[in-house]
A and B are shown apart, each in its own frame.
Chain A
Amino acid sequence: MKSSRFWAWLTFGVGAAYFFIPLIATLEFSMRMRRGEYSFDAYRVVFGDDRFQATFGYSVIIAVFTIILGVLVVVPTAYWIRLRMPHLRPVVEFITLLPLIIPAIVIVFGYIRMYGSNSPLPFLASTRGTDALLTIGYATLALPYMYRAVDTGLRTIDVRTLTEAAQILGAGWTTIIARVILPNVLIAVLSGAFLTFAIVIGEFTMASLLNRPAFGPYLQNIGANRAYEPAALAIIAFAITWGCMSVIQVLSRFAPKSANRPN
């Protein structure tokens, strides 16, 4: 018993060291901008940079639109699949996994070929069109996470019986989704939303190839030309991701407790 506990702690310790030592090293390096003493100069430079504010602001706006698009597409789809077409679930799950298999660069080249200025849908002919295409691309990249989060949320409630209970009480589809289904999977939707946010904030390939002023290309640019600031940005990016994860954890405590299943 004691021996197995020792090995468990050792494994945990090795894993934690593997994860934390580079992070601590990066943090330590980011604070060495001022010669001979630790300081937050690198962070001050980063936060004071207009491009940081502009690119971060742009990515946040794109992330918000990506989340809205993802929710509008995924929630009704996952709900309908569970309610009416459960036999299609494996197919839909496979489709939602494709963005993990197909590299983003392939997707974005496909977009450039399909939606160029000469195509019937010339998204790339205008700035707003390109932003819209980037949003759609990000929604695709976030699909595996958003779909799984929502589907897991739907699994905790008896979708069919709740739908029928609402129907027999006179409710139409809009009322059912807005007042019964969505509130019961809201925490799952928010989990998916924060994962989407984390993905969008750090994404480089699509934004770079579509030539949009996003945070990902800015990170890459700074990384290639500066010494201490990239380390500070890496720590900031980690803090944003962890912040998102913490919010998911906090929100999950407020999830409605399911009382649908008989004892």
Chain B
Amino acid sequence: MVDSFLSIQKVRKSFGDVTVVEDFNLDVGSGEFVSFLGPSGCGKTTVLRMVAGFEEPSAGKIVINGKDVTRLKPNQRNVGMVFQAYALFPNLTVAQNVAFGLKVAGTPKAESDRRVAQMLELIKLPASEYGNRYPYQLSGGQQQRVALARALAPAPKLLLLDEPLSALDAKVRVSLREEIRSIQKELGITTIFVTHDQEEALSISDRIAVMYGGKAEQVGTPFEIYNRPATRFVANFVGTLNVLEGTVADAGAGKVRVGNQELLVKEKLNGARTGETLSLALRPEAIALGPRPGHDARLAGEIPAVPFLGSVIRVRVGIGDKQVSLDTFNNSSTPPPAVGDKAEISFSSGDVLVLH
């Protein structure tokens, strides 16, 4: 870990008897973009709200830029925040909204006007055209960009984004997330992004903290999170996963029995004993229909369904009492396999994830 700009240390938050965040630790480097990813109720927004100062931790410490801010009020933290519901002030114009934080801070008008124009330029809503509009005269995506400009205008040291894209339609969501990331890189501002959308988190984050049950299950780069999930939850939550139940046939040799077929999992058994039942997980893209070079593991089965998804065809193969899904690109000259066909799947044993 490089220098830690934001440090969340052993933070716990309870509401009455219910503990929603437990022993949460995270160090975020200066200029880093970290996403909190998890299902509803996992505590990700609560952690963000504690960093913002809207909730006070029941235990633990939050340090921003070397200063303990745990007991400081939100208006004393120099943090910017974008909310899911935009939260633009309806009675103020776009320019007045962006200038709000500057006015509260007592920035001289000329400087404030210059900064507002600069911020609106940054979000590609020039002040000359959009400055005098009211929030209700903007689309959802434009409103959220104004909310971003408003959060950035007072030059906060830390930017918090609380599911800022959830209320937008799919197309706008993709373009805006790329815009957010490019602005974040341009300004070099340390950013925490809360989302339940794994694709969003994987595509724009430097690191991801996957949360479940109030705890960080795993913190790592998108590559690590996706390819080397530390827990069963992370493996299941991030990406699509095929899970097969297997029994260790020979722990020493790394052999696992799936149904009546045997599989070699080599170094992944991690001390499992012969006879123990394991869950073996495989990403759909790691599996091929038929043999492939480099694929040292094979399992035979029968095809119960072939959903057509346009550019991709998802082939389901029944292995014992489980089904495995794999994706192949649609090729108009090659018809997809038929339901009821016998099929053999192959994969590299190195791609198998053993879930404990």
Give residues in A with beta carbon < 8 Å to B: 157-158, 161-162, 164-172, 175, 179-180, 183-184, 256-263
Indicate whether B73 reaches chain A with its CB closer than 8 angstroms: yes
CA distance A165 to B92 in the complex (A): 13
Give residues in B with beta carbon < 8 Å to A: 52-54, 73-75, 77, 79-81, 83-91, 100-101, 104-105, 134-136, 138, 140, 143, 147, 150-151, 154, 166-168
CA distance A256 to B97 in the complex (A): 14
Contact, CB under 8 Å: B104 / A175: yes
Apart from A164-B52, A259-B86, what 13 extra A-B contacts exist at CB < 8 Å?
A: A162-B89, A167-B53, A168-B74, A168-B151, A170-B101, A170-B154, A256-B90, A258-B90, A260-B85, A260-B87, A260-B90, A260-B135, A263-B167
| Shortest distance from the beta carbon of A183 to any chain B beta carbon, whole Å | 4
CA distance A165 to B89 in the complex (A): 9
Contact, CB under 8 Å: A162 / B140: no
Interface SS of chain B: loop
CA distance A175 to B92 in the complex (A): 14
CA distance A259 to B93 in the complex (A): 12
Contact, CB under 8 Å: A183 / B91: yes
CA distance A262 to B166 in the complex (A): 9
6 contacts between A and B (CB under 8 A): A167-B75, A169-B100, A170-B154, A259-B134, A260-B88, A262-B84
Contact, CB under 8 Å: A168 / B52: yes
Chain B residues lying within 8 Å of A169, measured Cβ to Cβ, are 75, 100-101, 104, 150-151, 154
Chain A residue at smallest Cβ distance from B153 = A169
CA distance A256 to B80 in the complex (A): 25
CA distance A166 to B154 in the complex (A): 12
Contact, CB under 8 Å: A257 / B89: no
Chain B residues lying within 8 Å of A257, measured Cβ to Cβ, are 90, 134, 136
Chain A residues lying within 8 Å of B166, measured Cβ to Cβ, are 262
| Shortest distance from the beta carbon of B15 to any chain A beta carbon, whole Å | 14
Our pick among A162, A172, A179, A263 for the contact of B87 (Cβ within 8 Å) is A162
Chain B residues lying within 8 Å of A161, measured Cβ to Cβ, are 83, 85, 87
